[in-house]
Amino acid sequence: MPSVPLSPEILVRARRLALENAITHGGLPRAGPIVARLLGTDPALRHDAPAVQAAVEATIREIAALSSESRDSALAALGGAETSTPRPVPSEEGTFPDLIGAVPGKVVLRMAPFPSGSLHIGNARMLFVNEYYRRKYDGRLLLVFDDTVGSEEKRVDLEAFDLILGDLELAGIHPDAVYYKSDRIDKFYPWARRVIERGGAYVCVCPAETLRENREAGRACAERLQTVEQTLEMWERMLSGGFAQGEAVLRLRTDIADPDPAFRDRVLFRINEQAHPRVGHKYRVWPLLEFSWAVDDVELGVTHVLRGKDLVVEDRMQQFVWKLLEIQGPPFLHWGLLRVREAKISKSKSYREVKSGLYDGWADPRTWSLRSLDRRGISMDACRRFTLSFGMSLSDIEVPAETLYAENRKQIDSTVPRRAFVARPVRVDVADYPAELRTVELPNHPDRAELGVRTVPAGPSFYLARTDLETRLGLEVRLKDLLNIQLPDRLAPDASHLSARFTSRENKRIPRLQWIGADGATPVDILEIDGTHRTGTGERALLDAAPRDIVQFERVGFVRFEADWSTSSRPVRVVFAHG
């Protein structure tokens, strides 16, 4: 969907939220939370999320040049902070048309993943849209593994069958029946014979180069003139081993001058001698997926086919076969491509990296698999809401990952405890430190008193993030929720500690820095989305967490504890979810 200019009201609100964020946190605002609030309160903006992201980033660049006094004045001119403004609850779902001729209790749908690895965020529409309609019509949902033998580059992986079943369990989707195409190959051969007997197919032995030239020119090859008897004889030779791999294919006899070259005499079956991980060398002649679906959508009783618009040519193929055989097949309903901008998804690349050991299995964050999102702390319900919010639009949509994160944040923000973390820590010893502030009580959540408080060790020695110190040398700063200190003018590049001086406890409008009391610190390792690691220091309360717990590192973002982490091991190991 093309971008349109954002309204002046949206631009003003973006500026207001950015100013509020900068003043509240005593530094540069972060784009993520601002974009999330804009998208969360106006669902219509989700279709133009890139423009929203760009507008927010431009606003942040402008605010960066303002002094703290100028920021205060600018926010006041816009009516002050918006924190008390209630958020409207957006609709959970986009537009979903009724299924043509659907009868409650009689609808049968199917999911058809190719088993080459774990399902990823790009497959979410297949899962959640089919499940949506299954529930709407109290129907049945079939899982049919599209495990016909493919190309050398696209291979069936035995492990993927269990991975996909586990992915569905994780997503809370329970198919009513499970089928494997590799168990049904014998059922496709009689259908091929029927197509041949109707004059709808022929065996082609053209070299690849000749075929390419003929197709581009809209010219028929000599084999297209075969009689039914000749084709049947050559078909039997294909089945019995009379042709080697690559020597012959069975083609559908369409219109050689069809406006779409991709539809001209498409392949129905080809010979492939590679072993299948489930059935070995039992079969050597394999159907292409679209022909297998022309068969199975009828034999399995599928009433409606829901899938991406990128498979429209496959629709035509199925419909051509059904018309030839005088069969009424199910109708098709399509959705457009939904891309998450930051998710550079390539299942073939992920497969190679997982098998080589470069990736930490299919739960590695770089795969963007559903299990990797779960590992990060992004719930399947958030994935479902994110996916369904776009409805069945045929438009191709690209959105920032923040759109998904906003859905997850709605679910966890009010219940997840806050904890302190600083990266690249530098020890700061504070002179004249008040003796009565050796410990301090901090709320577990700034807005949820019922989540209680925790007692954390404070000064006189702290760990502060090197980046925070380097950008505020010589300034008076506030240790968040504690007191104010005066920083020195210099910090040597290799320095591991420095000295500062206590100034006051007054809550001034000065930069606020996250801190960890040196007596209550523990090492932390954060696995980032790109597979790198961020190390630092966290507060001792992290050791009270359980595996897979989620916390928010203040000024950093939400993280989930690794499933195999234990409180007796160091460092604390977590995976970054989002800001």
- Tokens 């959640």 correspond to what residue? 128
Look up residue 256 and give its amino acid: I
- Helix, strand, coil in percent for the chain, rounding step 5: 40, 20, 40
Report the alpha-carbon distance of residue 117 to residue 429 in Å, rounded. Answer: 52
Which of the four pLDDT bands, split at 50, 70 and 90, describes residue 44?
A: low
pLDDT at 55 over 90: no
Report the alpha-carbon distance of residue 550 to residue 560 in Å, rounded. Answer: 4
Quick one: 463 and 566 in the same domain? yes
Which of the four pLDDT bands, split at 50, 70 and 90, describes residue 347?
A: confident
Q: What is the pTM of this model?
A: 0.82
Which of the four pLDDT bands, split at 50, 70 and 90, describes residue 231?
A: very high
Domain boundary among 67, 90, 113: 90
190 domain-assigned? yes
What's 45-101 look like in SS3?
A: HHHHHHHHHHHHHHHHHHHHCCCHHHHHHHHHHCCCCCCCCCCCCCCCCCCCCCCCC
* Contact indicator for 294, 191 with CB cutoff of 8 Å: yes
Residue 278 is predicted with a pLDDT of 95
**Residue 305, H or E segment:** strand 305-308
Residue 345 is predicted with a pLDDT of 86
Reported as a single tens digit per residue, the pLDDT across 425-434 is 999 999 999 9
Of 128-132, 165-169, 252-256, the least confident: 252-256
Residue 14 is predicted with a pLDDT of 84
Residue 2 is predicted with a pLDDT of 41
Mean pLDDT of the chain: 90
pLDDT at 200 over 80: yes
Q: Are strands 550-553 and 557-561 parallel, antiparallel or unpaired?
A: antiparallel
* Mean pLDDT (whole number) for 551-578: 94
pLDDT at 91 over 70: no
What tokens were used for 530?
A: 């790109």
Which of the four pLDDT bands, split at 50, 70 and 90, describes residue 464?
A: very high
Q: Taking the alpha carbons of 307, 311, 316, 319 in that order, is the dihedral positive or negative?
A: negative
The CATH number of residue 204's host domain is 3.90.800.10
Residue 420 is predicted with a pLDDT of 97
Between 267 and 393, the more confident residue is 267
Report the alpha-carbon distance of residue 84 to residue 88 in Å, rounded. Answer: 12
Helix (H, G, I), strand (E, B) or coil at 484: strand
Phi, psi of 71 (to 5 degrees): -65, -45
Name the nearest CA neighbour of 35 among 16, 20, 14: 14
Which of the four pLDDT bands, split at 50, 70 and 90, describes residue 84?
A: very low
Report the alpha-carbon distance of residue 317 to residue 329 in Å, rounded. Answer: 12
Reported as a single tens digit per residue, the pLDDT across 491-506 is 998 889 999 999 999 9
- The DSSP letter of residue 28 is P
Quick one: 78 and 187 in the same domain? no
Number of structural domains found in the chain: 3
Quick one: 565 and 445 in the same domain? yes
150 domain-assigned? no
Residue 89 is predicted with a pLDDT of 31
* Mean pLDDT (whole number) for 513-538: 97
Residue 217 is predicted with a pLDDT of 79
Residue 90 is predicted with a pLDDT of 36
Q: How many CA atoms lie within 13 A of 267 on its CB side?
A: 17
Q: Are strands 521-527 and 572-578 parallel, antiparallel or unpaired?
A: parallel
504 domain-assigned? yes
Question: Listing from the earlier edge strand, what are the strands of the sheet with 572-578?
Answer: 418-419, 550-553, 557-561, 572-578, 521-527, 533-539, 421-423
Other beta carbons within 10 angstroms of residue 401's beta carbon come to 19
Quick one: 438 and 559 in the same domain? yes
Which of the four pLDDT bands, split at 50, 70 and 90, describes residue 474?
A: very high
What's 496-527 look like in SS3?
A: CEEEEEEEECCCCCCCEECCEEHHHEEEEEEE
Name the nearest CA neighbour of 332 among 367, 292, 304: 304
* Mean pLDDT (whole number) for 134-162: 90
Q: What is the largest CA-CA distance in the chain?
A: 101
Report the alpha-carbon distance of residue 298 to residue 460 in Å, rounded. Answer: 75
Residue 36 is predicted with a pLDDT of 66
- Tokens 């004045």 correspond to what residue? 73
Quick one: 553 and 432 in the same domain? yes
The CATH number of residue 489's host domain is 2.40.240.10
378 domain-assigned? no
* Mean pLDDT (whole number) for 236-246: 96
Domain boundary among 289, 315, 339: 289
The string of DSSP letters for 161-180 reads: HHHHHHHHHHHT---SEEEE
Name the nearest CA neighbour of 389 among 175, 143, 132, 138: 132
Which residues lie below 8 Å from residue 564, measured CB to CB, with a gap of 6+? Answer: 547
pLDDT at 551 over 70: yes
Report the alpha-carbon distance of residue 286 to residue 452 in Å, rounded. Answer: 63
Residue 528 is predicted with a pLDDT of 98
Quick one: 573 and 430 in the same domain? yes
Report the alpha-carbon distance of residue 36 to residue 579 in Å, rounded. Answer: 10
219 domain-assigned? yes
* Mean pLDDT (whole number) for 317-333: 96
* Contact indicator for 277, 157 with CB cutoff of 8 Å: yes
* Mean pLDDT (whole number) for 402-413: 96
Residue 330 is predicted with a pLDDT of 97
Which of the four pLDDT bands, split at 50, 70 and 90, describes residue 92?
A: low
pLDDT at 171 over 60: yes
* Mean pLDDT (whole number) for 454-480: 95
272 domain-assigned? yes
Domain boundary among 289, 309, 343: 289
Helix (H, G, I), strand (E, B) or coil at 544: helix
Look up residue 451 and give its amino acid: L
Q: Taking the alpha carbons of 391, 396, 401, 402 in that order, is the dihedral positive or negative?
A: negative
Of 143-152, 242-251, 331-340, 420-429, the least confident: 143-152
Other beta carbons within 10 angstroms of residue 573's beta carbon come to 20
328 domain-assigned? no
Taking the CA atoms of the chain, what radius of gyration do you get in angstroms?
30
Quick one: 466 and 579 in the same domain? yes
Helix (H, G, I), strand (E, B) or coil at 239: helix
Name the nearest CA neighbour of 416 among 445, 381, 443, 383: 445
Q: Where in the sequence is the domain holding 212, given as residue range(s)?
A: 183-289
Top-ranked range on mean pLDDT: pick from 19-33, 49-63, 254-268, 307-321? 307-321
127 domain-assigned? no
Residue 85 is predicted with a pLDDT of 36
Phi, psi of 533 (to 5 degrees): -120, 135
* Contact indicator for 223, 206 with CB cutoff of 8 Å: yes
